[in-house]
Amino acid sequence: MTLEKEKLRSFVDKHQGQKKSLIAILQEIQAEYRYLPEECLRFVAKSLRIPLTDVVAVATFYRAFSLTPRGKHVCTVCQGTACHVRGAPRILDEFERRLKIKAGQTTKDKQFTLETVACLGCCAIGPVVVVDNDYHAHTTVRKVGPILKKYQR
């Protein structure tokens, strides 16, 4: 993929090229491309005059960032204790079955990325599934199909 240097430059310039804005710049790149391509990380490092290893360290530290392409829709299935005892493993299995991928993977058509998280912090409404920042409370195996249908093209 040939990335638009002008677009990348605009992300850096928006933050006056300040090193303290690294996370904000990476967030904008992630929002634009749905992941952080290597050439973007190199461009940011050069533009901010910081070592590439520092940029990669930030990009790999935060779960919100991805170094591999993500789907248009990100499905996150909580696997915390409260969700687990209420059936989260079966819900995850159903997502994997319907999407034909395992947690941590993206569908071939790049429509869905399936992820798990140790806890979303909303145990009272578990099991919880989050798709594109939309929280689906009290999720059951039967609700997986309708949840996916809502986000399919």
Q: Could you tell me the pTM of the whole model?
A: 0.78
H-run or E-run covering 76: strand 73-78
Q: Summarize pLDDT for 56-77 with one digit per residue, the tens.
A: 999 999 888 999 999 999 999 9
Is 56 in contact with 34 (CB distance < 8 Å)?
Answer: no
Could you tell me if 66 and 76 are in contact, meaning their C-beta atoms sit under 8 angstroms apart? no
Pairing label, strands 112-117, 73-78: parallel
Q: What is the pLDDT of residues 103-139, one digit of tens each?
A: 999 999 999 999 999 999 999 999 999 999 999 999 9
Q: Across the chain, what does the average pLDDT equal?
A: 93
